[in-house]
Amino acid sequence: MVKTVRIGVLALQGAFIEHIHSLNTLRGVEHISDVVEVRTKEELAGVDALIIPGGESTSIALIAERCGILDDLREFSRTKPTWGTCAGLILLAKQAIHTKKGGQQLLNALPMTVSRNQFGRQVDSFTIKLATPCLESISSDKGADSENAFEYVFIRAPAIVSVDDPEVESLVSLPPGYGQTEASENGLLVAVKYRNILGTSFHPELTSDNRWHQYFVRMALGAGSA
Ligand SMILES: NC(=O)CC[C@H](N)C(=O)O
């Protein structure tokens, strides 16, 4: 029997509809059985993989806590395919800096420190096209240019400022200078894979190029198989 995945998108706050649209463009391309919004622990228990969208990480954490789903999210992200984008990446981290006074609840699934709003405020949002080796095996019919570069959208984005485990795979870094105040040879890390987790600080759901979604669906399809 062909394995299929039921993918959930955490729908408490932020850009969840856009992720659902991107995933829906992959129906018929990848083996997706369903794409659903997740707001309760029962809905979470019914999905094979989860996307935590961008938005406001403090609000998502607060709402999750009030809805009594925060510990279930912690448990889910320990073992099941989970992708955090932007605010979702912040939530998945072990530690966040430049948070509001008093800090914020995190899921502690990614052994790393992220810096909130590393690139400035909403008005400092930017896009950048970058060649992306991990997407090379995925063919793109939409959005990508002739070099197959992916167009990255950064909106009050976090950056990964330190990684605590050699198992964390670096997938995308920005060219030096972006979001950095001091000269450095290396640009900031903005996409990682760690075991069952994908963490990206940009918004792939805001472009018509669905290769990052396809990458995650393939991760989810591969999970648990030998
Ligand atoms: N676009 C975004 O998701 C922004 C995230 C925001 N900086 C936060 O702290 O949650």
Q: Which protein residues are within 6 Å of ligand 1, measured from CB?
A: 54-57, 86-87, 90, 116-117, 155-156, 158
Confidence of residue 226 (pLDDT cuts 50, 70, 90): very low
Q: Catalytic site residues?
A: 86, 203, 205
44-53 confidence digits (pLDDT tens): 999 999 999 9
125-147 confidence digits (pLDDT tens): 999 999 999 999 897 665 555 56
47-96 confidence digits (pLDDT tens): 999 999 999 999 999 999 999 999 999 999 999 999 999 999 999 999 99
* Residue to substitute in 13, 52, 57 for testing ligand 1 pocket (most ligand atoms within 8 angstroms of CB): 57
Whole-number Å distance between alpha carbons of 116 and 118: 5
Does residue 64 sit in helix, strand or coil? helix
The protein residue with its alpha carbon nearest to ligand 1, atom 3, reads: 54
| Distance from chain centroid for Cα 190 | 10
196 and 80 Cβ atoms separated by less than 8 Å: yes
State ipTM.
0.96
